[in-house]
Amino acid sequence: MVPALFVLAAAAPASLPIPAPILTTPQARDTLSFAQPETARVTHVDLDLTADFATQRLSGTATLDILAKPGADRIVLDDDGLVIARITDTDGRALPYTVGASVAEKGAPLTVRIGAARRIVVTYTSAPKASALQWLPPALTAGKSKPFLFSQGEPTNNRSWIPTQDSPGIRQSWSAHITVPASMMAVMSANRLTPEGEPAGKGEKRFAFNMPHAVPPYLIALAVGDLAFKPLGPTTGIYAEPATLARAAAELDDTQKMVAAASALYGPYRWGRYDILMLPPSFPYGGMENPTLTFATPTILTGDKSNVDVIAHELAHSWSGNLVTNATWSDVWLNEGFTTYFENRIDEAVYGKERAATLADLSWDNLQRDLKGAGGPDAPSTRLHGDPNGTYGELDYNKGATFLRTIEYRVGRAKWDAYLRSYFDRHAFQPQTTAGFLADLRANLIHGDVALEKDLQLDRWAYQPGLPDNAVHVRSATLAAIDTKLAAFDAGAPATSLDRSKWSTQEWLRFLNGLPRKQSPARLAEMDSAWGLSRSPSAYIGFAWFSLAISNHYDPVVPALDHYLHTIGRGLFVFPLYRGLMAQGPWGQPIARRIFATARATYHPTVAAALDSIITKPS
């Protein structure tokens, strides 16, 4: 049965938009939030905050619009370290509140006695070490002259700077006024009402933003810095520090084509503009799909467009994730698996079938790696629906995408595309669960076809560990050619004999990751001398090379590895490298601890906290 939607429409004031529906099925219960939305829920957030770089705090007010059942006299919000001065109704009358005990990965419940109030004002300050916020000194920016601030909300970090119900299933519209130093620019994941800011006195500027659509609260995002803008097309553009802007704009000049390709596949882009913010190197992800403004890592800038699939991925989230959102983090594959599949379709439309096949083939490699790393295909962490902390590695992405690709190959692309487009239309601006998706699939694609249901193995894909035997593996001719060269090199061919002058990042990754993990010091030295791997401008190639070198205790690479770990904060790279060092016992652990001691300050708080647990493990 399709899950029922719960809307307290009868209690909504006439002046407010109809709130986004929520799911109240057992599968939609968010165990990582204290909110009780079936009783009272936030429907709109209005922020008025000032960024203080000296104290590393955001301070001001959050005004919350509330939809509550008749007779409900309290609302439970999520809080992680907020310093609350007071909570009132809009007439200034104090409202009693309590902050409960803190719980790991959840923060604390903030319970407000609202009485008859349906709009409340929280006056507060974020803590200097708020998990969502990274305050960078000038030395850690591209321009080296001004500080920088950016937020990262997913999955549960926005409760450290916004007092709201921080759950993906409780979608909220929002607006904001942000006051910053006059020499800086503020951008947010919303319509930018004052792109250049307005004077606010005392050497400050004030920026205004509005997001009329109800979105999951983890998508409320902020950045402040020395930023400039360059258009990439009629509805696309890029923000970056001036020192980075030209290079980033040249690399990402196909963005408008991607938007057109995505819209042709699965329906209109519904967010107005699609802009990109190129962040400093400490940004912990490849990209973050904040609506209207993807946050992106500079590690994708390699000069050859090899890694612009990251932008295709974040753009695809404008449908899968932002438009239709996992109701809880146990179902994050509904965001990431759908998006990885959709990303590949955008790549095919813009760059051709072989480029898409190459990326899909590498995705299969990563899927096999993670199935093995999770402890084998029967490990519980290989299930798509399961632990709220997600699957092992990138299984949400690659197993989820393989699931959808398998359906495409079984039913045919035309039928599958028509279904997906209708799916996004039916569930636009709503949360979704695995159970809800499977019900929709059965109702609108399978239509009771017993043979098709059996062939697809839907429940096995969604709820069981491992990889079903009907999984589709797309093979790339480009990577097959690399495999031939890899075999020759492994048989003893000299490094200088390989013509790799036109290799893409993906070809390098297939080659380096395909090498036997045991290599002699002489062979490693030969590779580095011939190919300049330690000096590669590609963070992806560097990562693959350093991983191989670490597994062989290759001392000559340590200075370059030290530099790499001080200049890149992307979790995809730094977590495995530190784990790799720590796994090498007396050789690698001192190196890891020495590098981390000085590099820690360059990482986003969430990355630094996770690395703390890796580095402090006993020898």
Query: How many angstroms separate the Cα of 431 from the Cα of each of 44, 300, 426, 498?
Result: 16, 30, 11, 50
DSSP for 438-507 reads HHHHIIIIITT-HHHHHHHTHHHHHHSSS--TT------HHHHHHHHHHHHHHTT--GGG---TT--HHH
Bridge partners of 206, per DSSP, are 179, 198
Radius of gyration of the chain from Cα atoms?
Answer: 24
List Cβ neighbours of 323 (8 Å cut-off, separation of 6 or more): 270, 424, 427, 428, 429
Rama region for 417: left / alpha / beta (φ>0; ψ in -120 to 50; rest): alpha
Query: Which of the residues 241, 289, 314, 336 is marked catalytic?
Result: 314
CA distance 451 to 59: 59
CA distance 179 to 204: 7
- What's the number of CA atoms in the CB half-sphere (13 Å) around residue 17? 15
Strands 97-99, 324-326: parallel, antiparallel or unpaired by DSSP?
A: unpaired
Is residue 205 helix, strand or coil?
strand
155 contacts 32 by C-beta, under 8 angstroms: yes
Any idea what the Cα angle at residue 607 is, between residues 605 and 609, rounded to 5°?
65
Query: How many angstroms separate the Cα of 101 from the Cα of each of 29, 96, 98, 300?
Result: 20, 17, 10, 41
**Which among 475, 519, 481 is positioned nearest to 503, based on CA atoms?**
481
CA distance 67 to 584: 55
CA distance 134 to 149: 6
The answer to whether residue 314 is catalytic is yes
Strands 228-233, 204-215: parallel, antiparallel or unpaired by DSSP?
A: unpaired
470's enclosing H/E stretch is none
Amino acid at the residue 218: Y
175 contacts 47 by C-beta, under 8 angstroms: yes
User: What does the block give as tokens for 554?
Assistant: 């290759």
Strands 40-52, 172-181: parallel, antiparallel or unpaired by DSSP?
A: parallel
CA distance 140 to 148: 9
CA distance 326 to 432: 5
- What's the number of CA atoms in the CB half-sphere (13 Å) around residue 599? 26
Amino acid at the residue 212: P
543 contacts 573 by C-beta, under 8 angstroms: yes
318 CB-contact burial (10 Å; exposed 0-12 / middle 13-18 / buried 19+): buried
**Which among 398, 219, 226 is positioned nearest to 293, based on CA atoms?**
219
Query: Which of the residues 397, 423, 578, 603 is marked catalytic?
Result: 397
List Cβ neighbours of 351 (8 Å cut-off, separation of 6 or more): none
CA distance 320 to 31: 22
73 contacts 86 by C-beta, under 8 angstroms: no
User: What does the block give as tokens for 445?
Assistant: 């694609």
3-state helix, strand, coil split of the chain in percent (to 5) is 40, 20, 35
> Annotated active-site positions, please?
314, 397
